[in-house]
Amino acid sequence: MNRLKRHLTIILFIGFAYLLSGCGVQSIPKAKNEVEASLAEVTNQYKRRSDLIPNLVSTVKGYASHEKETLTSVTEARAKATSMKVDISQASPEDLVKYQQAQGQLSQALGRLMMISERYPNLKADTQFRDLQAQLEGTENRITVARNRYIETIKQFNNLITVFPTSVTNSLFFHHQKMPQWTVESAEKLEEAPKVEL
């Protein structure tokens, strides 16, 4: 009888642990980690783009130095965008919008910079400029992919903490709030990907 109780206790314990694991005890922290990793990838790609800008501005300046207003707007937009940091654990929807706006302004300034090349055939033919354009275009594609992944991980995390049965686990153990979503609509209004034409 004592042995039966012990087996029953073990079975109940295993069943309870299995039930908890299926109710978000592991999946909620994993989802939060995914959100943080995907945001880090978005910011990494924005940093990559930002790192390309000084060389791009320098190359354009060599051919189109009197385009000072455009060059200044790119430099200022870059400074503003790189000064903003987003901490997902403490970001409010307003913080996310400000970050999106700064990145969008940089994208628009870069778009104007790229359009300058149309007026300067020598700049357009410059190997370094064409290489930077190609790198910028690739980075813009990476930004889009990283942003889409971030949007998806936020959705998955928010579903875990708000949809039964994992919402019960969240309210009992974690007390996470919904994370602000990077909305595609506002990002598209703010960010027009720069036209990169070769």
Q: Domain span at residue 77? A: 39-157+177-190
66 belongs to a structural domain: yes
Q: What is the pLDDT of residues 119-158, one digit of tens each?
A: 888 888 889 999 999 999 999 999 999 999 999 999 999 9
Q: What is the pLDDT of residues 83-114, one digit of tens each?
A: 988 776 677 778 888 888 899 899 999 998 88
CB 100 within 8 A of CB 39: no
CB 153 within 8 A of CB 30: no
Q: What is the pLDDT of residues 35-47, one digit of tens each?
A: 999 999 999 999 9
Contacts of 191 (CB under 8 A, 6+ apart): 100, 103, 104, 107, 108
Contacts of 115 (CB under 8 A, 6+ apart): 195
pLDDT at 67 over 70: yes
186 belongs to a structural domain: yes
91 belongs to a structural domain: yes
142 belongs to a structural domain: yes
20 belongs to a structural domain: no
29 belongs to a structural domain: no
21 belongs to a structural domain: no
Say how many domains are in the chain.
1
22 belongs to a structural domain: no
CATH code for the domain in which residue 115 is found = 1.20.120
